[in-house]
Amino acid sequence: MILSLFRRKKQDPTIETLYGAIVAQARNPLFYRDHGVPDTVQGRFEMVVLHAFLVLHRLKEESEERRQLGQELFDMLFLDFDRGLRELGVSDTKVPKKIRQMGESFYGRVQAYDTALAGGEGETLEGALARNVLADLSGDTRVLAAYVRQAAAALAARPYESFLAGDIEFPAVPTGGPS
């Protein structure tokens, strides 16, 4: 039936729950109010990408079969980006180009954050966060970098089954302004 071509695949509730947790943490007002993340479309994009990276970073250590959960999460992330662009009024003809640019940005950030976390070099992670998340450099990269390391460690300690159940928790966002 030709109409079946236009039906959307029903999303797995686990993926919806995981993605919802990522977005909820990325929208935590403390990042914007206390830590210098710009409360703009770009700033919110950066925070969603950062938190999606943290979950995907954890899932990449799993077997190939289990990494499928990460792929489904990635797919939902970009479907949401597509929907968001359309809601912002980006024309249908420009959405694919914007999504491609967002994909390039995403992969660049993943590489930078992966390298920084693997090397354990604080300045490298701080530098990546300063360039990408705190574009105006008004925030304290040390606080944000410490949060990212804490979140990566907390997610690494969680068993895969908790992700499969849609159960993830990010650490609390530090309160207070930049020091």
- Residue 47 pLDDT > 80: yes
pTM above 0.85, yes or no: yes
Would you give the DSSP letter of residue 117?
H
Q: What is the torsion angle, in degrees rounded to the nearest 10, for the CA atoms of residue 167, residue 171, residue 177 and residue 179?
A: -150
Q: What is the pLDDT of residues 51-107, one digit of tens each?
A: 999 999 999 988 888 889 999 999 999 999 999 998 889 888 899 899 999 999 999
- Residue 138 pLDDT > 70: no
Burial class (CB in 10 A: 0-12, 13-18, 19+), 32: middle
